[in-house]
Amino acid sequence: MGVRIAASILAADFAHLADELARAEAGGADWVHIDVMDGCFVPNLTYGAKVIETVRRCTDLPLDVHMMVLEPQKYFDDFAAAGATSMTIHAEVAPHMQRQLSRIKELGCSAGVAINPSTPVTAVSEVVRELDLLLVMTVNPGFGGQAFIPYMPGKVARARALLHEHGSAAALEVDGGISRSTVAEVWRAGADTFVAGNAIFSAADAADEIRAMRAACGVPV
């Protein structure tokens, strides 16, 4: 199982976004993680299709779009057109999850589902075969820089068991408080994709931080 590092631009300096993206890419980031928040599902407001389009012009890395929004289906077409590689919706606001995942795939994107810390892994059990990505939130979503919830590795292990049970090759992503000091726990629990924002963009040397995260997972760097 490999290690993917997704650099979250929520922690980037937007006055120098192109430079920040170049720094993350040169440092070895595998994906760019874009948090879209609507101020309703989560208590924060971020950005939409125009920023996705801008990021797409600045990098060839996959754009991992995390949709923390009500009625995510309203944005699928615009985000796909803007250059999203994958779109991840939240189980808590997706009563027609199978239909929504199918639509994301029709648009040529990978389809994922995110679950909040209090949402059980079983919330996605009926759509596992549809998933390209399962995102386990290791903080309550809405703001960057939060502390990792210490009992989340157990949930990550349950998520890995669910994917294994169904023979799913979906990526198992974790997001929230991920750094060189927390990544090993969720790696051992079965995660393979790690969203890191502050750890990368607040570091003096992004490459060193990304190498340290890989090394913590026992991956040669």
Helix 17-26 to helix 206-216 angle (10° resolution) is 40
Which single residue is written with the structure tokens 């990792």? 148
Residue 120, C-beta contacts closer than 8 angstroms, at least 6 positions apart:
none
Can 175 be counted among the known catalytic residues? yes
Tell me the residue type at 198. N
Residue 175 · residue 149 · CB < 8 Å: no
Residue 36 · residue 47 · CB < 8 Å: yes
- Give the active site residue among 30, 38, 64, 175: 175
How many other CB atoms are found less than 10 A from the CB of residue 26? Answer: 11
Residue 191 · residue 9 · CB < 8 Å: no
Report the run of H or E that residue 214 belongs to, with start and end. Answer: helix 206-216
How many Cα neighbours within 13 Å face the side chain of 92? 19
**Which SS3 state, helix, strand or coil, does residue 196 take?**
strand
How many other CB atoms are found less than 10 A from the CB of residue 124? Answer: 24
- Give the active site residue among 35, 38, 64, 132: 35
* Catalytic (active-site) positions: 35, 175
